Chains A and B, each alone.
Chain A
């Protein structure tokens, strides 16, 4: 049995005061304790950025590598040693800009990684440039007149890459963050948890619409597999299908009863509804949180090791000397 303290390193946490990353470190340590996997069996890989400092604050094996390459390095760790639990910490710049190629391919291959994407819609460590998730028109040091770029929506990349797991959580919502991380770790295959993180210095309030405590319950919905999609401070709002689209309704109004509300099926192989849920935006619809997609498929690391074992089982060649003996040879 472990507690969150067992996963704290001796390093002083150097995130800015008020940064959302503080909450995510705490959530991750709680999730690790809940999972009960020992620090020496756990590896945390990161690239570069504020979020990539994370390994230093954990008592596990850690590797703070180079910008954007976390997914590739984590793939090497996990594929060669599938018995280890491997986490990857990344940000919207590290993961979706410089590391975009490795990111989509680790999802496509379904490497059994638990990826936490800290999405604060800004480059924080380089002091405030727009990122691939910054909203169009966003003013930053590198976009003084507003960006003219269309942002990525991470969920679309995950589904486009045939990802098998997608969850979302808000930094300050510790409960959903921890449960999403635990579910990601238990998922066999590449699991992405998009953490909506506030950068208090360069992009304060980016997620303010849902971070606002007063209205949060009405503006976000925490999805749970097998449960009706109900939300709201008074738990009287729900989601229904209206033609091809999702619609928020109030139970008790216009003859709507709880029976009319959609029930979340995170295990459905077809990702159409998962995508609809993941892309919901206010003010008409709540932002979806929790585990949106969780579909079981053989992971890459498992398949690679299985194939090697199968070949070894059948082969007459077991070692280097056997290999040499098997080649066309002659005496001189």
Chain B
């Protein structure tokens, strides 16, 4: 007898896995996303977890979630509301109640919905769905996950704790059934993860398979889904990558292309730590990582390595960027190449360490003493963290300047498809080394007079010995100078060097109704997917909207003023109270900018953006 009542074909679907922070939701979500990607879907993921490593079990504060958006085209974001929610306990159901689509599917572990579980999640009755007003608006698949997992592993002789820990695989099995996903590939992934622990691998495969078969044998009046392969992605070989890993790999690629050693000085800080950890693992390609005593030492060891001739970087988040400010100023004065990666999080101060925000922008552009212009670049998807880290390195090495690369929690932990690059296809990186003819006459002030880029000489080179410093130097001799006119010249040299970078960065592109938009959306950094989705949706409804999304922040692309002046209405959207808008007003004359801001530690929702844009259009 065919147990599946129907199969629904969808363009895209949003699935959210949610449970205790010890329930393995991140692993389950990652496996399901990668499985979907291998089957040809576009994916975008967003893990959302608490700062506590193991918050009290079953409580609202301990809920850890992983959302994946998969589809056959135009998957720009991890999605707003979920079509399918896996809730491992009542707390997970409660936290996500508002994020479930009407008539969405909710899979629950009935064994974790007992009286005491409901109390922990502060439910007052024994019917959580009714209490949340969901009884008539969702389709429930009740599964006694804990008991079924125990039954599945009855013959494995495992301790009770390990058995219960495997129930996420049962849930994954049910979800694979729901989406008509063959589980062979999932088993292959598990093999990669648990290959060195054969007993654990066998147990996980058994539970996964039993979960799938359980779904198959359910006599439920629920449709399963199929999602077609994507046809909009350029042909090629892909993997799924998160922003932090892409950032780390961008540094690796840039160092190899430039022919330099890669050095990272860093101190653990959420959500940037994974960059350091990924590079610490990559000694095979020669990455040198020093985990130092504090944030200041992180940047200072990197400055030392840059002085000695490395591609040097430091990775941090907002509070760490504050601590590094003085040393970044030294790099500006010393005119050394340095990549500073700031993975932004909720602020100010310690703020919300695991949440996402774009609130470090003005600190990155201006946060140093004195006139100290530097380069600021922002990545806009997990995968393009690779490209923009590579470009940040290229600009640092070719223009002898610190470059701040802005990422954020959303990019760092989220993942998207990444078309695998070849180093040979990537743009050349030519560090601005001193020409041989300056041997014997070189000093720290020597620069290319056209581009104003200082020449780099590194210890070990005979005849180029020099003294660098944080003090002002004479523009000719390189010696310490407090001479007034000289300070003005040097200030101008440093400013002009940064301004000249406009010549090598691309123009900002305008997408959507570029010719006749009634509203131009302006964004920067990680919000690109959400802005793109909102624009696409509204244009499909007949509106005329365009999007200019910025990756190069300081200096701004050459065509910035033209783009901002071209459209009758311009709205700047960002996850802060208006920092980019403030910056644009200071850089471009006579612009009127609407603002769309959110400071909740969460990404935009596409629906809230659409509502906001419609309101502006109708003003």
Residue among B284, B294, B465, B471 making CB contact with A311, cutoff 8 Å: B284
Interface positions, chain A 248-285, Cβ under 8 Å from B, are none
- Please list the residues of chain A having a beta carbon within 8 angstroms of any beta carbon in chain B: 9, 11, 38-43, 45, 48, 55-56, 59-66, 69, 72-81, 83-84, 101-102, 105, 304-305, 307-308, 311-312, 315, 317-324, 327-332
The stretch of B46-54, B97-105, B163-171, B303-311 in contact with A is B303-311
Contact A79 B283 (CB under 8 A): no
B265-308 interface bits toward A, Cβ cutoff 8 Å, 1 = contact, 0 = none: 10000000000000000111110101011101100111111111
CA distance A42 to B459 in the complex (A): 7
Given contacts A41-B459, A65-B469, A73-B307, contact A317 B284 (CB under 8 A): yes
7 A-B pairs (CB sep. < 8 Å): A72-B292, A81-B309, A102-B296, A315-B283, A320-B253, A322-B285, A329-B238
Asked if A323 and B465 make an inter-chain contact with CB atoms under 8 angstroms apart, the answer reads no
Question: B interface vs A, CB < 8 Å?
Answer: 34, 37-38, 40, 189, 192, 229-230, 233, 235-240, 249, 252-253, 256, 261, 263, 265, 282-286, 288, 290, 292-294, 296-297, 300-310, 312, 326-327, 330, 334, 417, 420-423, 459-471, 479-480
Report how far A121 CA is from B380 CA in the complex, Å. 52
Q: A75-B301, A76-B302 are in contact. Are A105 and B283 (CB under 8 A)?
A: no
Q: Is the CB of A40 within 8 A of B423?
A: no
B contact residues around A311 at 8 Å (CB): 283-284
| A264 to B: closest C-beta gap in Å | 33
The 6 closest A-B pairs by CB, nearest first: A76-B304, A72-B300, A76-B301, A315-B284, A311-B283, A73-B304
The distance in angstroms between the C-alpha atoms of A72 and B265, with both chains bound, is 10
Quick one: given A40-B462, A308-B283, A323-B249, are A80 and B423 in contact (CB under 8 Å)?
no
**Whole-angstrom CA separation of A43 from B471 in the bound complex:** 18
Which residues of A are found within 8 Å of B229, using beta-carbon distances? 332
Q: How far is the CB of A242 from chain B (nearest CB, A)?
A: 40
A39-B465, A76-B300 given; name 10 further pairs at CB < 8 Å. Answer: A56-B479, A69-B300, A73-B301, A73-B304, A73-B307, A312-B286, A323-B249, A328-B34, A332-B238, A332-B417
Contact of A40 among B334, B422, B465 (CB under 8 A): B465
Please measure, in the bound complex, the distance between the C-alpha atom of A83 and the C-alpha atom of B460, giving whole angstroms.
9
Give chain A residues whose Cβ lies under 8 Å from the Cβ of B265.
72, 76
Asked whether, in the complex, the Cβ of B284 is within 8 Å of the Cβ of A40, the reply is: no
A72–B308 touching, CB < 8 Å = no
Q: Interface on chain B toward A: helix, strand, loop, or mixed SS?
A: mixed
Q: Which residues of B contact A55 (CB under 8 A)?
A: 467, 469
Contact B471 A64 (CB under 8 A): yes
| B468 & A62 in contact (Cβ 8 Å cutoff) | yes
CA distance A87 to B306 in the complex (A): 17
Q: Could you tell me if A61 and B263 are in contact, using CB atoms closer than 8 angstroms?
A: no
Q: Which one of B285, B465, B480 lies within 8 Å of A318 (CB-CB)?
A: B285
With A76-B265, A308-B283 already in contact, the answer to whether A45 and B304 are too (CB < 8 A) is yes
By beta carbon, the residue of chain B nearest A83 is B460
Q: How far, in angstroms, from A307 to B417 measured CA to CA in the complex?
A: 33
Q: How far is the CA of A83 from the CA of B261 in the complex (A)?
A: 14
Give the Cβ gap from A174 to chain B, nearest Cβ, in Å: 24
Chain A residues with CB below 8 A from B238, complex form: 329-332
Q: Are B283 and A312 in contact (CB under 8 A)?
A: yes
Q: In the complex, what residues of A have CB within 8 A of residue B303's CB?
A: 65, 73, 76
Is there contact, CB below 8 Å, between A64 and B263? no
- Report the Cα distance A244→B249, complex, angstroms: 57
**Which chain B residues lie closer than 8 Å to A61 at the CB level?**
459, 465-467
* Cα of A321 to Cα of B296 in the assembled complex, Å: 33
- The answer, among B297, B327, B420, B467, for a CB contact under 8 Å with A64, is B467
* Docked complex Cα distance between A249 and B610 (Å): 90
Pair B467/A320 contact, Cβ less than 8 Å: no
Bound complex: CA A24 to CA B479 (Å): 22
Are A80 and B256 closer than 8 Å at their CB atoms?
A: no
Nearest B residue to A328, CB-CB: B239
Instruction: Decide: A66 and B330 in contact? CB cutoff 8 A.
Output: yes
Q: Kindly name the residue among A105, A319, A320, A324 whose own CB sees the greatest number of chain B CB atoms within 10 A.
A: A320
Residues of the A chain whose Cβ atoms lie less than 8 Å from the Cβ of B293: 101-102, 105
Contact yes or no, B307 A64, CB < 8 A: no
Question: Distance in Å from the Cβ of B420 to the closest Cβ of chain A?
Answer: 5
A324, B418: Cα distance in complex, Å: 11
Cα A66 to Cα B40 in complex, Å, equals 53
**B330: A residues at CB distance < 8 A:** 65-66
B491, chain A: closest CB distance, angstroms: 19
Shortest beta-carbon distance, B409 to chain A, in Å? 23
Partner of A323, one of B192, B285, B463, B464: B285
CB–CB B468/A327 < 8 A: no
Question: B555 to nearest A CB, angstroms?
Answer: 26
CA–CA, A208 to B39, complex, Å?
81
Residues in A with CB closer than 8 Å to B189 are 328
Residues on A with beta carbons closer than 8 Å to the beta carbon of B309: 80-81
B305 touches A76 (CB 8 A): yes
